[in-house]
Amino acid sequence: MYDVYAVRKDFPVLKEVVYLDNTATTQTPIPVVETMIDYFYRYAGNYGRGAHRLARETTNHYEDAREIVASFLNAEPLNTVFTKNTTEGINLIANSYPWEVGDHIVTTLLEHHSNLLPWMRLQKKGVNITVINPDNKGKIDSYLLENAFTEKTKLLAITQVSNVFGSVQDVKGMTKIAHRNNIKVLIDGAQSAGHMPVDLKDIGCDFFATSGHKGLLGSQGTGVLYVKEPDVLESASVGGGTVSDVSESTYTLEPSPACFEAGTPNIPGVIGLGRAVEYVEKIGISKIKKHEMNLSREAAKKLSELEHVEVYGPENSLGIVPFNVKGLNAHDVALILDQTKQICVRSGYHCAIPITRFLKVDGTVRASFALYNTIEEMDILVKAVSELKALVS
C-alpha cells in the first residue's frame, strides 16, 4: 500500500498550498534538504580539486551521488555527466557533436523548446531538421518517424514524456528503428525520470538528458546527461576540471565524465540529488507512477464532465492534465485558482509554443501531479474549476 500521507510529512509547504505544478518543478523532501545542509555545515570543499580532508570528503560524496544516479538509470558512472538541467544537457550534445554541412536531424512538434531550439540553431551551420507532427493526443507515429529518415539523418531527438500532454512515447521501439538506420537517438527525459521506470541500457539510446528538480525531487540547478559513447563528442566547454595536462599551446582532456563538467559544479545540489534518488527508490518508482497516473486519470475524467471545460491529452497521461475553461484565458484561470483556493497550476505555453498552437489554443492550464498529491487535492481542483462556470455563463 502506498501511504501518501506519510510521504507528505517530508514536504512542509504542502500544508500551505495545493501544489499541482510538478511538471515545472517539484518540492524537495526534508531528507534531501538536510543532506545539502550537511554539506554546507560539515564538509564544504571543492570537488576533484584538493588533497585536504574537506575536498576529499566532498569529492567522495559527489562521486557517490554519480553512482546512485547512474545505477538508478541503469547506466555506468563514466557515462553519467552532471549538468545544471535538461536544457544544458541537450545543448551540450548539440554543441559537441561533430556536425557536417548537410547532416539531418529528426525531431517532433511535441518538444519543449529545450529540445527544439538547439537543433533549430544548427541550421545556421548547414544542418537540416525535420519536425514530425503528433496526433491530437500527443502521440508520435513511429511510421512517420521512419519515413522522415534520410541517408543524411544523424540524430533523432525526441521527448519520452510530453510536458504538455503527459503522453509517453515508445522510445525503445523508436531507438531500434533509428539504430537500424544508423541514426543516433537523444531522449529528453525531463518528464520521465522519477515518474516512470527508465532503464537506459534497455532503451538503448545514445543520449538521455534529464533534470534533477522534477521527478527526481532534487534541487534546482541539477541535471543528468547520459552519453553512451563519449568519444563521439568534442567537449563544448573546457577549463578547470576537464583536463589532465596543459602545455603552453595545448591540453589533454580527462576521460568522461570529467571532460564534460567544466568549472566548479553545483556540488550541494548534486550531493542532494544522490539522496533524492535514494528517496525515490525507497518509495518505489512503480508505486509513484501508478499513484500519479491514477490522479491524472481521475482529474481528466472529472474535468471532462464539466461542460465549460475542455481537456486535452491522452487518458493514460503520466500525471499531467492540460485543460481550458471555455471563454477564460488560461492565465486568468491559474490566477483565480491561486488567489481563491491556493491551488498552484501552470498556465500558458509551457515552453512549448509550437505544440500549444497546434492545438489551436492560446495556452492551456496544466495541472500536474507528483507522488505527494492526494485524491482530496484533486477534488479541490475539480470543485474550484467547476465553480468557474459562474464566470463564463
The residue ranges that bind ligand PLP (CB under 6 A) are 23-24, 85-87, 112, 114-115, 159, 163, 188, 190-191, 211
Residue 146 CA to residue 174 CA, distance in Å, equals 9
Helix or strand holding residue 269 (H, E): helix 267-283
Q: Measured from the CB of residue 387, what is the shortest distance to ligand PLP in angstroms?
A: 29
The residue among 318 and 336 lying less far from ligand PLP, judged by its C-beta, is 318
The residue among 4 and 318 lying less far from ligand PLP, judged by its C-beta, is 318
Placement of cell 525535420 in the chain: 130
**Cis amide bond preceding 314, omega within 30:** no
Residue 166 CA to residue 146 CA, distance in Å, equals 23
Residue 300 CA to residue 285 CA, distance in Å, equals 22
Q: Measured from the CB of residue 63, what is the shortest distance to ligand PLP in angstroms?
A: 23
Q: Give the three-state DSSP class for 182.
A: coil
Type of residue found at 345: V
C-alpha distances in angstroms, 386 versus 164, 200, 307, 325, 383?
A: 22, 42, 9, 9, 5
Q: Measured from the CB of residue 87, what is the shortest distance to ligand PLP in angstroms?
A: 3
CB contact set of 282 (below 8 Å; sequence gap of 6+): none
Catalytic residue status for 344:
no
Placement of cell 524537495 in the chain: 28
Q: Measured from the CB of residue 142, what is the shortest distance to ligand PLP in angstroms?
A: 19
The residue among 23 and 324 lying less far from ligand PLP, judged by its C-beta, is 23
Distance between first and last Cα of the chain: 43
Residue 244 CA to residue 138 CA, distance in Å, equals 46
Q: For residues 212 and 222, is the Cβ–Cβ distance under 8 A?
A: yes
The residue among 188 and 377 lying less far from ligand PLP, judged by its C-beta, is 188
| Side-chain-facing half-sphere of 392: CA atoms under 13 Å | 17
Q: Measured from the CB of residue 352, what is the shortest distance to ligand PLP in angstroms?
A: 8
The residue among 302 and 369 lying less far from ligand PLP, judged by its C-beta, is 369
The residue among 184 and 366 lying less far from ligand PLP, judged by its C-beta, is 366
Bridge partners of residue 196, in order along the sequence: 193
CB contact set of 38 (below 8 Å; sequence gap of 6+): none
Segments of 200-316 assigned E as strands: 207-211, 223-227, 243-246, 251-253, 309-311
**In this structure, what DSSP letter does residue 316 have?**
T
Q: Measured from the CB of residue 194, what is the shortest distance to ligand PLP in angstroms?
A: 12
Q: Measured from the CB of residue 366, what is the shortest distance to ligand PLP in angstroms?
A: 10
Q: For residues 149 and 179, is the Cβ–Cβ distance under 8 A?
A: no
Check 205, 259, 344, 351 and give the catalytic one. 351
The residue among 8 and 346 lying less far from ligand PLP, judged by its C-beta, is 346
Active site residues: 351
